[in-house]
Amino acid sequence: MTIKMLNEIQVDENFETYVLIQSMDVRVTRAGKQYQAFTFRDHSSSISGNLWNTNEKTIREFIPGTVVYMTGKKELYQGMPQVNQIQLRVATGMEPGNPEDYKDKPPISKSDLEEEINKKCFEITNANYQRIVRLLLNKYRKAFFASPAAKSNHHAFETGLALHTVSMLRLAEAFAELYPVLNRSLLYAGVILHDLGKVIELTGSVGTEYTLAGNLLGHIAIIDEEITKAVIELEIDDNKEDVLLLRHIVLAHHGLLEYGSPVRPKIIEAEVLHYIDKLDASISMMTSALQQVAPGEKTQRIFGLDNRNFYRPKN
């Protein structure tokens, strides 16, 4: 067999390849037997698969962030591709074993992302907003420009959080041009801060999991607390309207109570922030899924988009 990229492998084809273990969970069958559930990836695509003959050695050896040589067969399960008949071994020193070679390559460099966000900070003319944003960005700068924006749904790769933020800032600027009624300072500050709590909610870009704070509090509650602490440190009156407005648009950015926001949007900037957040996340999920199928094919069902699949046109 010839080594292939994941996106080159056909259904029902036996293959061999090198992949990065993106995630691994130890699960238990109905019969009470342990198995390992994996997500594998290279820079072309990702695919899931289960290792049924598992033991304590494989659980220790095959962990997220490890490059492995894999043989198996690509099959469909409930219409979704997966690897069956998996055999794994850790890549040796003479093989392509650098994890960085298997990660998503963001379309914008980390330095360019940082430069664009810094420029937008200068356009925040409200002094309180600018001070709060700069304090929190400086406090979490290293993590912010390295973190994913989610565990799996959208921008789930290194620098994904900063890329999501920059994309939203560009949308926010376009909306502000079209609708001059919008308060740019409030909207830009809200965009930069709305997901910053994810640097505490998530563990990092490889084998991303929720931290204890992430599980118990969530990024919305976390960033609201961070804003409150920043206001105290900067000796800003926490009852000022501009502070309350900033907290509101961050708290409301998921739009609905059932989606995790403790309050629904009650000002126009909060409504806009919610929709541009949803729009950018949705396009990211669709784009990632469409890149993994050929023209004329449908994507896998996307959980974050109401479990719908999408068609990739031939032209």
Q: Does residue 302 lie within any of the structural domains?
A: no
Statement: the pTM of the whole predicted model exceeds 0.85: no
Q: What is the pLDDT of residue 135?
A: 98
What is the domain-level CATH number for residue 72?
2.40.50.140
Q: Same structural domain for residues 227 and 125? A: yes
The answer to the question of residue 315 being in a domain is no
Last residue of a domain, one of 83, 102, 121: 102
| pLDDT of amino acid 98 | 87
> Is 229 within the bounds of a domain?
yes
First to last CA, the chain: 32
Domain of residue 165 covers: 110-287
Number of domains forming the structure of the chain: 2
pLDDT for the residue 270: 97
Query: Same domain, yes or no, for 47 and 158?
Result: no
pLDDT value at position 53?
A: 86
Instruction: Specify whether 125 is located in the same domain as 266.
Output: yes
Cα–Cα dist 91/97, whole Å? 6
Residue by residue, pLDDT tens for the chain (315 residues) are 678 888 888 889 999 999 999 889 999 999 999 999 998 988 878 888 999 989 999 999 999 889 999 999 999 887 678 899 999 999 988 899 888 787 777 788 889 999 999 999 999 999 999 999 999 999 999 999 988 878 777 777 888 899 999 999 999 999 999 999 999 999 999 999 999 999 999 987 776 788 999 999 999 999 999 999 999 999 999 999 999 999 999 999 999 888 889 999 999 999 999 999 999 999 988 988 887 777 888 887 888 889 898 999 988
Q: Are residues 153 and 83 in the same domain?
A: no
- Boundary of a domain, candidates 40, 68, 102: 102
Please indicate, yes or no, if residue 295 is contained in any of the structural domains.
no
Cα 61 from Cα 119, distance rounded (Å):
44
Same domain, 73 and 220: no
Whether 179 is covered by a domain: the verdict is yes
Shared-domain flag, residues 143 and 248: yes
The whole-angstrom distance between residue 41's C-alpha and the CA centroid of its chain comes to 15
| 156, 238: one domain | yes
Q: Tell me how crowded residue 247 is: count the other CB atoms within 10 A of its CB.
A: 20
pLDDT at 1: 63
Do 71 and 145 fall into the same domain?
no
| 265 and 119 co-located in one domain | yes
Q: Do 97 and 119 fall into the same domain?
A: no
pLDDT the model gives residue 78: 72
Same domain for 136 and 227, yes or no, is yes
**143 and 242 housed in the same domain:** yes
Cα distance between residue 50 and residue 136, in whole Å: 41
Residue 292 domain-assigned (yes or no): no
